[in-house]
C-alpha cells in the first residue's frame, strides 16, 4: 500500500502540474456555460469521454485557443437552407474553417440557432448566444444580421448580406468601424434587380406584369430600392410580400389574382428557403422565372443570376480566422463578390415554350438540360 510522505498531511496536498490546473479550469468554464435547459448543438452532445484531456487540447498546441480555452462560435440563421447556401450540404463557412486547419470539437465549439423561417424568433435566439457568451457570431441575411446588431455591440459579427453600408451596419466596406464585417452579395455599382428584369424581357418580351416575391422584413429589397426606376418604366411590377414561411400560400394566391406573366424574387433567406415550392408554382402556372440563387434552377426554375453563395460564405472564414488571432472587425474590409453566375434550365424553357436567345446561352455559366 502506497504511503504518503510525512510532510504531506493528505493526498489533497500533492502539487499537480500546471497543465492539470489549466485543464480543470477549462472543464469548469465549459460546464458553467451549459444552462439546465440548454439544447446541445449538432456534433456537440455530451457523450461518454466527451470532455477528455485528448479533446481539451494541451496549452500551446493550436492558435485557436483564447485565454486557455477553445473558441465558441455562434451560428444564427433564419432558415435551415440559410446555413447551407446554394447546393451545399454543409455550412460553407465551416468548410472554410476546415480548409484553414480548424477542426470542430478540437479547436472550436459551435452553437447553432435556427429560427425555422420565423423572423420573430431571431431576437430570442441571438440573445441566447450572447448570454453564453460566444466569441464570434456567424450570421447570414439582413434580418438575422439586424437581430445580431441590436443584440450586441461588442461580440464580433461576421455576416453575409446584401448591403451592409446601406443598412447602417458598417460605415464603409473598406473600414467597417464597428463590430461587424464579412462579405456582401452585391458589387460596387451592381444593379441586380435591373439585371433580373432585363434578362426576363429578353426571354419573355411579351411579359408585362412581373410578379416580385419578397420578404417584408427586408427593407433592402423594397421595390424602389431593389429596382432602378428606369427598369420599371416598361413593365407593371406586382410586389407580393411574405413575413414568414407560413405566408407563402397567401403570396401565391395574390400572384394568381394579379395575373402575373413572369416571376422573380428578392434573394432574402426567407424566400430562398422556399425555392422548391416557388419553382413548382412557376412551372404549374407556366411563368418564366428569374431568380437570385442557383438552387431555383436545379428545382425547375427557368434562370438564375447572382454570386455563388457557397464560395462567398466560405471566404468569410478568413475573417473569422483573423478575428480569432486578434484582429478587430472594425479594421477588416467587407469583401465583395467578383463574379456573378448565370444558370439556365433548358428543359424548363422547352416545357414553357420559351426560346432562349443564343446571345443569352453563350453568356450562361451553366446550362441544365
CA-nearest of 264, 254, 279 to 203 is: 264
Report if residue 245 sits inside a domain: yes
pLDDT in tens, 29-80: 444 344 433 343 443 433 333 332 233 333 332 333 445 579 999 999 988 7
Region of 367 please: left (phi>0), alpha (psi -120 to 50) or beta: beta
Cβ 143 vs Cβ 137: under 8 Å: no
Report if residue 248 sits inside a domain: yes
Report if residue 9 sits inside a domain: no
What is the span of the domain harbouring residue 287? 192-306+339-368
Q: Tell me how many domains the chain contains.
A: 1
Report if residue 112 sits inside a domain: no
* Model pLDDT, residue 158: 98
How many Å is the Cα radius of gyration of the chain?
Answer: 25
Q: Cell for 330?
A: 472594425
Q: To 5 degrees, how large is the angle CA 221–CA 227–CA 232?
A: 140
Q: What is the pLDDT along the chain (369 residues), one digit of tens a residue?
A: 444 444 434 344 344 444 444 444 444 444 434 443 334 344 343 333 333 223 333 333 233 344 557 999 999 998 876 555 555 556 899 999 999 999 999 999 999 999 988 999 999 999 999 999 999 999 998 899 999 999 999 999 999 988 899 889 999 999 999 999 999 987 654 578 889 999 999 999 999 999 999 999 888 888 988 888 878 888 999 999 999 999 999 999 999 999 999 999 998 889 998 999 999 999 999 999 999 999 999 999 999 999 888 899 999 999 999 999 999 999 999 999 888 899 999 999 999 999 999 999 999 999 998
Distance CA 21, CA 19 (A): 5
Phi, psi of 216 (to 5 degrees): -70, -10
Report if residue 253 sits inside a domain: yes
Dihedral (Cα; 241, 118, 277, 337), 10-degree rounding: 80
Report if residue 58 sits inside a domain: no
Q: Cell for 73?
A: 462560435
Distance CA 284, CA 301 (A): 11
| Partners of 350 in the β-ladder | none
Distance CA 337, CA 219 (A): 21
User: Which single residue is written with the C-alpha cell 451545399?
Assistant: 88
Strand order in the sheet with 209-215: 236-242, 209-215, 262-265, 289-291, 303-307, 340-345, 366-368
Cis peptide before 206 (omega within 30 of 0): no
Report if residue 235 sits inside a domain: yes
Residues 6+ apart with CB under 8 A from 2: none
What is the 3 state secondary structure string of the chain? Answer: CCCCCCCCCCHHHCCCCHHHHHHHHHHHHHHHCCCCCCCCCCCCCCCCCCCCCCCCCCCCCCCCCECCECEEEEEEECCHHHHCCCCCCCCHHHHHHHHCCCCECCCEEEEEEECCCCHHHHHHHHHHHHHCCCCEEEEECHHHHHHHHHHCCCCCEEEEECCCCCCCCCCCCCCCCCCEEEEECCCCCCCHHHHHHHHHHHHCCCCCEEEEEEECCCHHHCHHHHCCHHHHCCCEEEEEEECCHHHHHHHHHHHHHCCCCEEEECCCHHHHCCHHHHHHHHHHCCCCEEECCHHHHHCCCCEEEEECHHHHHHHCHHHHHHHHCCCCHHHCCCECCCCEEEEEEHHHHHHHCCCCCHHHHCCCCEEEC
Report if residue 8 sits inside a domain: no
Amino acid at each position: 500500500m502506497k504511503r504518503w510522505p510525512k510532510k504531506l498531511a493528505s493526498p489533497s496536498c500533492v502539487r499537480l502540474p500546471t497543465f492539470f490546473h489549466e485543464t480543470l479550469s477549462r472543464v469548469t468554464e465549459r460546464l458553467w456555460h451549459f444552462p439546465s435547459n440548454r439544447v446541445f448543438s449538432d456534433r456537440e452532445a455530451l457523450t461518454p469521454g466527451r470532455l477528455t484531456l485528448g479533446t481539451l487540447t494541451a496549452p500551446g498546441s493550436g492558435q485557436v485557443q483564447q485565454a486557455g480555452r477553445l473558441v465558441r462560435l455562434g451560428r444564427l440563421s433564419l432558415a435551415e437552407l440559410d446555413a447551407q447556401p446554394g447546393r451545399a450540404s454543409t455550412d460553407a463557412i465551416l468548410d472554410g474553417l476546415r480548409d484553414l486547419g480548424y477542426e470542430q470539437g478540437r479547436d472550436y465549439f459551435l452553437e447553432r440557432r435556427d429560427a425555422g423561417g420565423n423572423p420573430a424568433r431571431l431576437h430570442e435566439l441571438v440573445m441566447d448566444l450572447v448570454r453564453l457568451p460566444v466569441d464570434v457570431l456567424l450570421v447570414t441575411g439582413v434580418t438575422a444580421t439586424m437581430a445580431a446588431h441590436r443584440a450586441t455591440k461588442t461580440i464580433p459579427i461576421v455576416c453575409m448580406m446584401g448591403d451592409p453600408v446601406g443598412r447602417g451596419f458598417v460605415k464603409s466596406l473598406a473600414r467597417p468601424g464597428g463590430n461587424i464585417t464579412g462579405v456582401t452579395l452585391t458589387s460596387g455599382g451592381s444593379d441586380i434587380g435591373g439585371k433580373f428584369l432585363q434578362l426576363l424581357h429578353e426571354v419573355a418580351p411579351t411579359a408585362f406584369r412581373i410578379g416580385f416575391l419578397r420578404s417584408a422584413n427586408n427593407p433592402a429589397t423594397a421595390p424602389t430600392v431593389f429596382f432602378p426606376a428606369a427598369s420599371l418604366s416598361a413593365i407593371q411590377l406586382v410586389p407580393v410580400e411574405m413575413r414568414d414561411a407560413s405566408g407563402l400560400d397567401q403570396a401565391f394566391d395574390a400572384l394568381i389574382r394579379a395575373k402575373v406573366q413572369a416571376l422573380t424574387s428578392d434573394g432574402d433567406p426567407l424566400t430562398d428557403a422556399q425555392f422548391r415550392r416557388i419553382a413548382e408554382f412557376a412551372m404549374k402556372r407556366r411563368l418564366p422565372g428569374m431568380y437570385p440563387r442557383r438552387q431555383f434552377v436545379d428545382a425547375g426554375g427557368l434562370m438564375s443570376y447572382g454570386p455563388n453563395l457557397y464560395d462567398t460564405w466560405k471566404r468569410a472564414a478568413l475573417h473569422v480566422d483573423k478575428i480569432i488571432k486578434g484582429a478587430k472587425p472594425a479594421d477588416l474590409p467587407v469583401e465583395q463578390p467578383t463574379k456573378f453566375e448565370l444558370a439556365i434550365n433548358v428543359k424548363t424553357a422547352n416545357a414553357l415554350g420559351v426560346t432562349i436567345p443564343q446571345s443569352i446561352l453563350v453568356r450562361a455559366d451553366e446550362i441544365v438540360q
